[in-house]
Structure 1
Amino acid sequence: MKMKTLFVAPYATMKNLIEECRKEQSELDVHIEVGNLQEGAIVAKHAEKQGFDVIISRGGTAKLIEEEVNIPVVDVHVSGYDMLRVLTLANDFNSKKAIVGFSNITMGAQAITDLLDISIEVFTIETEEETVPLIQQLKKEGYELIMGDVVTVNAASNNGLNGILIQSGKEAIMDSFQRAVSLCRLVKKKSYESAIQREILKLAQPDMLVLGENGSIVYENWTNFSKRPVSDQQLEDLRLQEYALHKTYYRLLKNGEEQLKITINTINITGIDYLVCFLESVYVNQQPSLEIHTITQRPFLIHHSQAMKDCLTQLLSMPAGGPMLFWGKMGQGRACWLNMFIMKVREIIHCLLPYLQLI
């Protein structure tokens, strides 16, 4: 199945080249839209809702899209061929000239001008709003030719300067296609791994939640509760406490007639701490797990046979205080043997019970 791809072209003439390039690859289902900067970001957000796997764009448009969507974004790099084509066009222009654009445009431009020892100044902008003031300043300084992306060339034209658009060639677009394929494969692999882990958690059926460093709930799963059993304030109180890595902490929260036992561990992923909390109900009126029985007389035990006499002798000679195991089927008198031993050592029953077990 092909990977659903949106290519947001920042200028109209790029669309024809993209259509030509997409015929030469078979792994991407490429849809093309034209939109620069904010216009392109709006198109990309709509595409994300439509289930696209990856978005390709260029320059400042790619940078804006990356901030707006949660799916992979591939930036079309400005290649050396792209810069050489522009510099060749500008070579016959004798007045002062400059390259202006976002960092993903100007980084490659600076490398080429340094390599070829071409005397062209390179200026980097961070936001669209910086463009016009910079162009106006360059005009005052005597610059007459501005090279850059769409927003730069438009600003130059509006201020009476010459502009040359740095256009992407076929090799840059084909490279972006290949990077989109690789990125999609990686994301899908990680998505499969994450889906498997989530299903395993569901099978284990833990009542749990994971808190991020700002208190946001990253993950939650409830099996024995119809809804989250703790309030936002209780979660905030838990988060504000100090926890060390690789240690387990326990907290009790009162919740009506029951208490919530919370087991807390801290994990660190890529430098960010997360609180992993497992919750279970502990009822206040829960019956005690320890039962105390009083033995008033020695149990009746038939031991006329030699085998029974040997068993009784061995039992009565055993030291008290260590763990013991009485093995046998139901009805074979394990409780009777246990009571016999207890009477022999004359210990308090609740002191011995932790060491004795009937199977």
Structure 2
Amino acid sequence: MMIHALVIAPYKGLFELVSGLKEELSDFRLTMLQGDLSEVLPLVGQMEEGQYDVIVSRGGTARLLRQLVTIPVIEIHVSGYDMMRILTLVQGISSRVEMIGFPNVIDGFIAVSRIMGIDIPYTEIGREEEASQAVARAKEKGVGVVLGDTVTVRKAQELGMEGILITSGKEAVLEAFAQARYMRTIAARYEQKYTVYEHLLDKLDAGLAVLNEQNRFQYVNDAFCAQWGISGDKPLHDAPIERGTCLSKLITCLKLGIDIDRVALTCRPAHSTPMLVSAAAHAAEAGFYYVQSDSKPDSAAEHVLSVSFWTEAGQGNTFLQPLGQTANAGSLAAGDAPDGLPIAVYGEKGSGKRLWSAAWSGGEHTAQAEQERLFIAAELPKAGKLSLITLEQWLARLDQSAVLYLKGVEDMDASQQNALAEAITAAQAQVILSFERSPGELRRDGHLGSALFELLQDRIRYFPPLRDRRDELEALIRSLIAKSNETSGKQIVGLRPDVLNSLLERPWAGNFNELKETIDRLVHYAKGDFIDESALAGLEHDALSEGWRNTGSGNQAGISGGINLNQTLEAIERDVIQAVLKQEQMNQSNAAKRLGINRSTLWRKLKQNEHES
């Protein structure tokens, strides 16, 4: 096993000594550089890119490199033989001699000089910058000869003094390379184990990642990349995660001390498929965070907290504006800024409550407009005791830059609602409670406790369904076309009158969710500058051929229309996989993401299906 070593020699003699030992170092591939600290600093970046196994240097140069590079640095020490040779050399010098250097060298010389009965004054320095002052003081005391390293000797010579370099001999050099061999052997063993573990982790269906304090990947497996939509090759070690993404917001929560324990996480609006996620700070290693994710099992849906991190909070204020024009806000005006007091929003499912809340709390009205707000939408399960404990922890740790949007509070019992009201009152974060029925009705029916209602009764905003806001529907459609242009790369400028009239006459049972999905599909099918009848025909074709309906669910096109359900479970699974692959143009990565499995699992199922057929 050849060891690629970069040797940095602070003085020419060391360069020549190592060069002469190449036969004894035949298991090393040596790259040689000569230079002191000032000459080495500009080369640090090249060292990291050079794929070296180890760096060998000495003195202050070695100590500095250990602080600047991630490659192991082996220091060539000054051996006892070296000290005896130098002390013998200076013993007969008539000029006054002083030794100036770091403690690791000075201490050894003192011990050896006492054994040899030689008394040499010395000055210890802790940093390279102290060398100039120490040499100047030595000259003032009448010192004519200075013993030290390359920096100290150069300073002495600049002041007209004689400098004798403390050099390392053959024994010290060979000892350093022996240490390099041992270190590389140990590193190779760990690398082999790491490779085995990494291979095993890549076989798991669960996604796993480790990140550091700087939001950089330290490890990530294939399943994690597929589940989180990380495209291309797996991120390299120390690659940064993109700012503003769902993952970066998750790490922000961990840095605030919030542990994520079995939460159904959806990264809106980028992904619609929830994942069961657990994440926490590493218990033993400070500054490291682990994230585990998996496709959410159906059986877990009613028992875990559902959470989404909105990654576009504050970016949708313009196209959401029509939603607020006819909303009966009560005492909460459209231009009011978030002030930390809880508010309530209510209306039918899909009427835009969450979208407006994200824009209102993170947009231009935000008091902290220059700071990116953390918008967390959480939906409580029916059995919410564990979720209440989680929410209490979150509310205690989230600061004023965070927004917590809560659904399902009306399903909590009275004691849980009272505990939540206390936590909200003490919280610094902005809390928004979302309901489908008005808080007043919920209070009268016994589904909303007095403590929560009193917090909200003067701060309630109502969102009518689309069927009750026909006068603003056209403006909203045009805003959604503009938004869809941004993500699709199209430049649609409007709709033909017949298409617009068709849209205005629809019942829009799914409200804003249905409208947005419809507009996205129409923009996709549009061939020219306007959405015309051909795009509308494409939309209707989807409804017939794929089983897609304008339900406002936000799901992708269905596949049930082409699946024979009167067959075995294995056969249904095979047909579903083939249908999804066809819709994704046989792209296995996209198909695996749609199916909620990783690429290796999909590959195994395809191979199994080929064998059975």
TM-score (norm 2): 0.42
C-alpha contact (below 8 Å) 1:21/1:173 kept by paired residues: no
Structure 1 residue aligned with 2:147? 147
Is 1:235 the counterpart of 2:238 in the alignment? no
- Letter in structure 2 aligned against 1:241: G
1:51-70 aligned at under 5 Å gives the runs 51-70=51-70
Deviation at 1:115, TM superposition (A): 3.6
C-alpha contact (below 8 Å) 2:209/2:220 kept by paired residues: yes
Structure 2 residue aligned with 1:300? none
Change in Cα spacing, 1:62 to 1:199, as seen in structure 2 (3 Å) is: same
Change in Cα spacing, 1:78 to 1:203, as seen in structure 2 (3 Å) is: same
Helix, strand or coil for the counterpart of 1:190? helix
Helix, strand or coil for the counterpart of 1:188? helix
Deviation at 1:234, TM superposition (A): 3.0
Which one is further off, 216-225 or 131-140?
A: 216-225
* Number of matched pairs: 284
Deviation at 1:288, TM superposition (A): 8.0
Q: 1:288 and 1:157 mapped to 2: Cα distance?
A: 79
Task: Render the CA deviation track for 1:96-127: whole Å, top value 9, x for unaligned.
Answer: 32211234433432332344343223323233
Helix, strand or coil for the counterpart of 2:218? strand
Task: Render the CA deviation track for 1:234-270: whole Å, top value 9, x for unaligned.
Answer: 3211332256xxxx9333445345544322355444x
Higher strand share: 1
Change in Cα spacing, 1:130 to 1:253, as seen in structure 2 (3 Å) is: same
Structure 2 residue aligned with 1:130? 130
Q: 1:104 and 1:280 mapped to 2: Cα distance?
A: 52
1:128-207 aligned at under 5 Å gives the runs 128-207=128-207
C-alpha contact (below 8 Å) 1:10/1:40 kept by paired residues: no
Change in Cα spacing, 1:122 to 1:192, as seen in structure 2 (3 Å) is: farther
Which one is further off, 93-102 or 15-24?
A: 93-102
- Letter in structure 1 aligned against 2:109: A
1:323-342 aligned at under 5 Å gives the runs none
Two-structure CA RMSD over aligned residues (Å): 3.0
C-alpha contact (below 8 Å) 1:215/1:236 kept by paired residues: no
C-alpha contact (below 8 Å) 2:3/2:27 kept by paired residues: yes
Structure 2 residue aligned with 1:264? 279
Q: 2:173 and 2:127 mapped to 1: Cα distance?
A: 24
Is 1:75 the counterpart of 2:75 in the alignment? yes
Helix, strand or coil for the counterpart of 2:168? coil
Deviation at 1:171, TM superposition (A): 1.0
Q: 1:267 and 1:198 mapped to 2: Cα distance?
A: 19
Q: 1:251 and 1:42 mapped to 2: Cα distance?
A: 48
Deviation at 1:218, TM superposition (A): 2.9
Deviation at 1:277, TM superposition (A): 2.0
Change in Cα spacing, 1:44 to 1:26, as seen in structure 2 (3 Å) is: farther
TM-score (norm 1): 0.70
Structure 1 residue aligned with 2:7? 7
Deviation at 1:59, TM superposition (A): 0.5
Helix, strand or coil for the counterpart of 2:122? strand
Q: 1:53 and 1:239 mapped to 2: Cα distance?
A: 34
C-alpha contact (below 8 Å) 1:99/1:146 kept by paired residues: yes
Q: Who wins on radius of gyration, i.e. which is larger?
A: 1
Q: 1:251 and 1:103 mapped to 2: Cα distance?
A: 54
Deviation at 1:56, TM superposition (A): 0.8
Q: 1:274 and 1:28 mapped to 2: Cα distance?
A: 35
C-alpha contact (below 8 Å) 1:265/1:276 kept by paired residues: yes
Q: 2:63 and 2:176 mapped to 1: Cα distance?
A: 15
Helix, strand or coil for the counterpart of 1:146? strand
Which residue of the other structure, out of 207, 218, 228, is the alignment partner of 1:225? 228
Unaligned runs of 5+ in 2: 231-240, 304-567, 569-613
- The structure with higher relative contact order (CA 8 Å, sep 6+) is 1
Structure 2 residue aligned with 1:251? 263
Change in Cα spacing, 1:191 to 1:237, as seen in structure 2 (3 Å) is: same
Change in Cα spacing, 1:272 to 1:125, as seen in structure 2 (3 Å) is: same
- Letter in structure 2 aligned against 1:226: G
C-alpha contact (below 8 Å) 1:208/1:277 kept by paired residues: yes
Change in Cα spacing, 1:236 to 1:102, as seen in structure 2 (3 Å) is: same
Deviation at 1:41, TM superposition (A): 4.2
Deviation at 1:161, TM superposition (A): 1.6
Helix, strand or coil for the counterpart of 1:13? helix
Helix, strand or coil for the counterpart of 1:86? helix
Higher helix share: 2
Structure 2 residue aligned with 1:277? 291
Task: Render the CA deviation track for 1:180-204: whole Å, top value 9, x for unaligned.
Answer: 1111111222122212211211111
Structure 1 residue aligned with 2:362? none
Structure 2 residue aligned with 1:349? none
